[in-house]
């Protein structure tokens, strides 16, 4: 599903060179639920971005869904993201000027589908995260937990095989965090979705199948 | 996607209110300028109904001279006849005619009302001599121009232009129709003997108005005299010939001549004045549109930098660079559409209320289309660079910045 071999990421400016990831080797099988842990600045988000084709590695090889991304063009990667990968972010990244259902529909705008199909899929996704009653609300009218559920609905609306969640519970209290984790675990268990979650929370990480620990850009566990 | 953009802009209408208002005002200004430009263009392309080339206008001040020199009416008429003979004797002269002071581009009008079929209508009237149609190269659509046979006419003959046929007679044949002047105690009838096409004597910018030509000869009373000579000259006559005429006629008339001018020069002067009058409006319009373009460019640029997070999410969700680019341009075009819709509602009132009867509804509609297209073009051009900047945003960086 996701295969990283000797992956390296270096950020360069005219005066400084920062090694963000060093020799990462990671294989994530279909249907896995994996946590990435590590202190701030250890390269967790960078690793997630590389897995999600949002960033290019400076060294090594990345394969997603059997496809080598080294020679892929920008548009090809965008299409692959659209079909195969859903993202959940710590700060939700919802568009405040669109209703909940319009936010959820957004990824479907970038593939061939009719407006009725988009609406139907968005409502189904919202139903899965328990937000059927809030479809006409705007994100500013929702709580943090509800916003994150909308973000999850947006991530799953295109039926991707992989969900990459970057500290999805980072802005939430423990009750809401548990709710979000439950949703992700259900998706993994019931639909076989591969989930990679970056988290600082040890308890939450322990609930996943596998934990990958990073320190100063290197895989330590 | 278009529906998505409309939703987004509609939900952001308060934030975009000022920008939409600015585009709306630009539309209104462009609509006014387009209407004027189209009106002018169409007017300029329409026939005047006469030929102004190689025609000299010789103005006389016989009325003043008559009083100063205590000349009798007979003496004035004799001097006029002598002047005409003198002009005709010149090798450069093709023909000579006389007309009342409201000649083309003279800036003078003469209007009165006559009755036909019990209805009173306004007409522009012109006193002209028998050679007027030849000198001015005015083609006749029907009937004939004045000639010596009209000396013995029982009813005063008149020649009309096509506009009179349309406004007064409708589908009826014009020749032989009687128009009546009942201003005096005894009504006077006029019979139509000929029809010319247009006679837009006030120039290209004026619409054709119903014009009636009356015959005048040197033997007519001086009260309604046609005292300005129109001289058709050969194309090779040259500018110096104007001076020759001035000198020769001044000698005959004891200094009556107040000016000789080519009709073409009068036309050019008139067009120059139109351009000068239109210039401030065009400058203001260009300035406003330029300001709107700058404002739009700045706002879109700023908007792209404020929306990096949103652009990052869209890219993460699978939007191609082209989708992002189109999103920015499309949103700007949607804002323009809102502004144009409001503008059209306002603009459509102009023909509905008939504010400028001279301008047809078709011109207004064409002006609406032209100004809408111009606004869309300006908006698209202004959005081009910000949209390219947006398309180049790297999703990982954008999401990290947020």
- What is the interface pTM, i.e. ipTM, of the complex? 0.90
Q: Could you tell me which residues are beta bridge partners of residue A195?
A: A33, A163
A168/chain B closest Cα distance in angstroms: 14
Collect all residues from B whose CB is shorter than 8 A from any CB in A: 1, 3-4, 7-8, 11-12, 309-310, 312-323, 394-396, 399-400, 402
> Which residue in chain B has the smallest CA separation from A85?
B317
List the single residue in A54, A93, A97 with the smallest CB-CB distance to B12: A97
> Which residue in chain B has the smallest CA separation from A158?
B317
Q: What is the pLDDT of residue B258?
A: 67
Mutation site for B-interface testing, chosen from A46, A97, A171 by largest number of B Cβ within 10 Å: A97
Which tokens hold the place of B362?
A: 């078709």
List the single residue in B11, B317, B400 with the smallest CB-CB distance to A82: B317
Mutation site for B-interface testing, chosen from A80, A110, A136, A138 by largest number of B Cβ within 10 Å: A110
C-alpha span between A51 and A9 (Å, rounded): 12
pLDDT, tens digit only, all 402 positions of chain B: 778 888 888 888 888 888 888 889 889 988 988 898 898 888 888 889 999 999 999 988 777 766 666 778 888 888 888 989 999 999 999 999 999 888 999 888 889 999 999 999 999 999 999 999 999 999 999 999 999 999 888 999 999 999 999 999 988 999 999 999 987 778 899 999 999 998 999 888 888 899 999 998 877 777 666 678 899 999 988 888 888 888 888 888 776 766 889 999 999 998 898 889 888 888 888 888 888 788 888 888 888 888 888 899 999 989 999 999 999 999 999 999 999 999 999 999 988 888 888 788 999 999 999 999 999 999 999 999 999 999 988 888 877 765
CB contact under 8 A, A97 and B323: no
* Residue extents of the structural domains in chain B: 2-45+274-401, 55-268
A108/chain B closest Cα distance in angstroms: 9
pLDDT digits (tens, 9 = 90+) for B137-161: 999 999 999 999 998 889 999 999 9
CB contact under 8 A, A78 and B318: yes
CB contact under 8 A, B318 and A49: no
Q: What is the pLDDT of residue B257?
A: 66
* pTM of model > 0.80: no
Q: What is the three-state SS of chain B?
A: CHHHHHHHHHHCHHHHHHHHHHHHHHHHHHHHHHHHHHHHHHHHHCCCCCCCCCEEEEEECHHHHHHHCCCCHHHHHHHHHHHHHHHHCCCCEEEEEEECCCCCCCCCCCEEEEEECCEEEEEEEEEECCCHHHHCCCCEEEECCCCHHHHHCCCEEEEEEHHHHHHHHCCCCCCCCEEEECCCCCCEEEEEEEEECCCCCCCCCCCCCCEEEEECCCCCCHHHCCCEEEEEECCCCCCHHHHHHHHHHHHHHCCCEEEEEEHHHHHHHHHHHHHHHHHHHHHHHHHHHHHHHHHHHHHHHHHHHHCHHHHHHHHHCCCCHHHHHHHHHHHHHHHHHHHHHHHHHHHCHHHHCCCCCCCCHHHHHHHHHHHHHHHHHHHHHHHHHHHHHHHCCCHHHHHHHC
- Measured between beta carbons, the chain B residues lying within 8 angstroms of A87 are 313, 316-317
Output phi, psi for A38, to 5 deg: 160, 160
Which tokens hold the place of A132?
A: 């059927």
A162/chain B closest Cα distance in angstroms: 12
C-alpha angle with apex B220: B216 to B226, nearest 5 degrees? 45
CB contact under 8 A, B312 and A93: yes
Q: Is A95's pLDDT higher than 70?
A: yes
- Measured between beta carbons, the chain A residues lying within 8 angstroms of B1 are 109
List the single residue in A91, A98, A110 with the smallest CB-CB distance to B323: A110
> Which residue in chain A has the smallest CA separation from B13?
A97
CB contact under 8 A, B316 and A74: no
C-alpha span between A59 and A65 (Å, rounded): 19
CB contact under 8 A, A102 and B4: yes
- Measured between beta carbons, the chain B residues lying within 8 angstroms of A115 are 3
A106/chain B closest Cα distance in angstroms: 8
List the single residue in A91, A115, A138 with the smallest CB-CB distance to B3: A115
- Measured between beta carbons, the chain A residues lying within 8 angstroms of B322 are 75
> Which residue in chain A has the smallest CA separation from B315?
A78
A48/chain B closest Cα distance in angstroms: 10
Whose structure tokens read 């960078």?
A46
Q: In this complex, how many residue pairs, one in chain A and one in chain B, have their CB atoms less than 8 Å apart?
A: 77
């Amino acid at each position: 599903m996701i295969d990283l071999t000797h992956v390296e990421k270096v950020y360069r400016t005219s005066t400084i060179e920062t090694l963000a990831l060093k020799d990462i080797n990671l294989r994530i099988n279909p249907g896995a639920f994996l946590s990435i842990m590590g202190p701030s600045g250890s390269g967790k988000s960078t690793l997630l971005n590389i897995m999600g084709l949002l960033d290019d590695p400076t060294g090594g090889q990345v394969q997603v869904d059997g496809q080598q991304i080294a020679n892929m063009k920008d548009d090809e990667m965008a299409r692959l993201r659209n079909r195969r990968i859903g993202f959940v972010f710590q700060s939700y990244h919802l568009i405040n000027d669109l209703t909940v259902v319009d936010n959820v529909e957004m990824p479907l705008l970038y593939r061939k589908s009719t407006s009725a199909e988009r609406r139907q899929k968005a409502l189904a996704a919202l139903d899965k995260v328990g937000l059927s009653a809030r479809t006409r609300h705007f994100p500013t009218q929702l709580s943090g937990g509800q916003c994150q559920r909308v973000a999850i609905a947006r991530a799953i609306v295109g039926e991707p095989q992989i969900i990459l969640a970057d500290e999805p519970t980072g802005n939430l209290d423990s009750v809401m965090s548990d709710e979000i984790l439950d949703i992700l675990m259900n998706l993994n268990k019931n639909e076989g979705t591969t989930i990679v979650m970056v988290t600082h929370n040890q308890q939450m990480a322990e609930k996943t199948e596998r934990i990958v620990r990073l320190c100063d850009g290197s895989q330590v566990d | 996607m278009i529906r998505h953009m409309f939703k987004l802009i509609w939900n952001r209408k308060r934030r975009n209110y000022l920008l939409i208002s600015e585009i709306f005002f630009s539309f209104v200004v462009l609509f006014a300028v387009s209407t004027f430009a189209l009106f002018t263009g169409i007017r300029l392309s329409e026939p005047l109904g006469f030929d102004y080339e190689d025609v000299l206008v010789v103005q006389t001040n016989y009325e003043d001279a008559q009083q100063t020199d205590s000349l009798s009416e007979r003496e004035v008429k004799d001097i006029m006849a002598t002047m005409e003979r003198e002009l005709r004797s010149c090798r450069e002269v093709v023909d000579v005619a006389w007309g009342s002071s409201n000649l083309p581009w003279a800036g003078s009008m003469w209007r009165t009302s006559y009755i036909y079929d019990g209805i009173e209508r306004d007409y522009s009237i012109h006193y002209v001599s028998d050679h007027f149609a030849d000198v001015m190269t005015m083609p006749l659509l029907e009937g004939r121009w004045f000639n010596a046979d009209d000396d013995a006419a029982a009813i005063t003959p008149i020649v009309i232009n096509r506009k009179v046929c349309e406004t007064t007679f409708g589908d009826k044949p014009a020749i032989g129709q009687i128009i009546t002047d009942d201003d005096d105690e005894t009504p006077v009838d006029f019979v139509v003997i000929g029809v010319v096409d247009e006679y837009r004597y006030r120039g290209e910018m004026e619409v054709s108005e119903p014009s009636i030509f009356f015959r005048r000869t040197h033997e007519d009373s001086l009260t309604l005299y046609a005292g300005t000579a129109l001289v058709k000259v050969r194309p090779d006559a040259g500018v110096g010939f104007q001076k020759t005429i001035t000198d020769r006629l001044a000698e005959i008339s004891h200094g009556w001549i107040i000016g000789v001018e080519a009709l073409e020069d009068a036309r050019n002067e008139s067009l120059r004045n139109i351009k000068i009058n239109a210039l401030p409006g065009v400058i203001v319009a260009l300035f406003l549109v330029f300001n709107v373009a700058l404002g739009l460019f700045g706002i879109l640029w700023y908007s792209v930098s404020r929306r990096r997070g949103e652009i990052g999410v869209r890219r993460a969700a699978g939007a191609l660079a082209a989708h992002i680019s189109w999103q920015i341009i499309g949103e700007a075009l949607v804002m323009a559409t809102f502004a144009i819709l409001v503008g059209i509602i306002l603009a459509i009132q102009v023909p509905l209320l008939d504010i400028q009867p001279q301008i047809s509804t078709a011109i207004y509609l064409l002006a609406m289309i032209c100004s809408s297209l111009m606004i869309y073009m300006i908006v698209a051009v202004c959005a081009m660079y910000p949209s390219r900047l947006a398309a180049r945003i790297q999703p990982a960086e954008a999401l990290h910045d947020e």
